[in-house]
Chain A
């Protein structure tokens, strides 16, 4: 387990150095995207429309933040991760088309996403679910909001972060998937757990 402090945009070479269980802190620009923003970004790509921001090397954060407007400026009040598995539908194309290098969320992602991360060079960093104030503290500035018509949680928020983390690398660019490994181990342990309770 190593600890890394990375600045976005991150190169493919850098993310390929990361391994599952490593701890990462990010500084620089990141964007939020949930289901609706993923869908819109991919339709922009398919229609050949210009994206509002170049995502290459950036981190995409699965998050629907609680944001407050104060004196015409946005302030992020709470911004914990949402369940990433919902984005498994889109993430492989998202990584392929936009070259994002870090995906941040909670609960892990599936094989299709992990395969894309291996192929194109990206990692998944797990942020502690519910730790919404810790995340908000690392957000130094709201640089902009795109697609606000999707609603506060679904819009694409462009955030400047400093030492955003700790992120536990749970999928690396070498085909390792920590959540999958744990799930497999849990299944293996199941009969031992049953035995503890005198069950068959």
Chain B
């Protein structure tokens, strides 16, 4: 697998992600529109659906905040040229910034200087996973700033357990109010440590919205949290209504006996992500989007 091939696929993934929502997210937004019963909430969801359709038709970014670029790489151990992937993803990010275009969103935290091409120290950030086989699975997650700003980590008292987790999730959503552009998607993870919980929470945002958690206990927790949060009345864009979250996805890691880290990663309704699989024969398969 050449670096150039990976670069081309990554540019395509960024373009797909920012201009066209995955099928499952579109489906969830349509359902929310049908189920919403307040005029104001319905009007917000209508504007969202119209915007999604228009962006797709005109190949324009759904939102002007095209996010910070994050990649998830699931690399088969037999894939040749693994050492070229990081450079290819950086190149792809700079290229997509110019071509799509993406808004330049990589700012030095001390000098406030914007690099202009969405690359910088640790950006795009790459999450690596080495798996058996010879295929490469690539996911682009351009993550918006408004929803990121209300993501939260709670290092809870371990004696509070699951009760503490539920309260932390509800409080995080209520404190966020209209800010993260609801209806949002919540990735929730508990355990591991501070970094592990947040990593798993964000990764949970990649799970398709139309599939239930295979673990029945987690599926119930996801359901209960979704119902509870949707009864707050925050509603689409915080203007009131039934749909405050489209879904909640939960994951966990075993924890230290003294710790109970709970992470909530918040994703706006413009839940942009795109995944492709590159096979050893060069065949490219897009998993989240229909590509002609």
User: Which A residues are within 8 Å of any B CB, using their own CB?
Assistant: 1, 21, 23, 63-66, 68, 77-80, 83, 85, 106-108, 126, 128-134, 136-137, 153, 166, 168, 170, 178-179, 182-183, 185-187, 189-190, 192-194, 196-199
Contact present for B101 and A128 (CB under 8 Å): no
Q: Which one of A1, A68, A130, A187 has the greatest number of beta carbons of chain B within 10 Å? A: A130
User: Which B residues are within 8 Å of any A CB, using their own CB?
Assistant: 39-40, 43-44, 47-48, 50-51, 54-55, 58, 60-66, 101, 103, 144, 146, 163, 166-167, 170, 174, 177-179, 181, 224-225, 227-229, 231-235, 237-240, 268-270
Contact present for A77 and B238 (CB under 8 Å): no
In angstroms, Cα B178 to Cα A106, docked, is 8
By a CB distance below 8 angstroms, the chain B residues around A134 are 47, 50-51, 54
Separation in Å of the A136 CB from the closest CB of chain B? 7
The 9 closest A-B pairs by CB, nearest first: A131-B51, A78-B64, A129-B181, A128-B47, A130-B63, A134-B51, A107-B178, A132-B64, A133-B55
In angstroms, Cα B47 to Cα A106, docked, is 13
By a CB distance below 8 angstroms, the chain A residues around B146 are 83, 129
Contact present for B239 and A178 (CB under 8 Å): yes
Q: Which of A23, A65, A83, A196 is within 8 Å of B228, CB to CB?
A: A196
In addition to A1-B40, A77-B60, 17 A-B residue pairs with Cβ atoms within 8 Å of each other are: A21-B40, A23-B43, A78-B63, A80-B65, A106-B178, A128-B237, A130-B269, A131-B48, A132-B63, A133-B58, A168-B44, A178-B239, A186-B234, A189-B231, A196-B231, A197-B167, A197-B170
Contact present for B51 and A199 (CB under 8 Å): no
Total of A-B residue pairs, C-beta within 8 Å: 147
Contact present for B167 and A190 (CB under 8 Å): no
Separation in Å of the B92 CB from the closest CB of chain A? 19
By a CB distance below 8 angstroms, the chain A residues around B227 are 196
By a CB distance below 8 angstroms, the chain B residues around A170 are 239
Contact present for A130 and B181 (CB under 8 Å): yes
Contact present for B239 and A179 (CB under 8 Å): yes
By a CB distance below 8 angstroms, the chain A residues around B54 are 133-134, 137
In angstroms, Cα B225 to Cα A136, docked, is 36
By a CB distance below 8 angstroms, the chain A residues around B48 are 128, 130-131
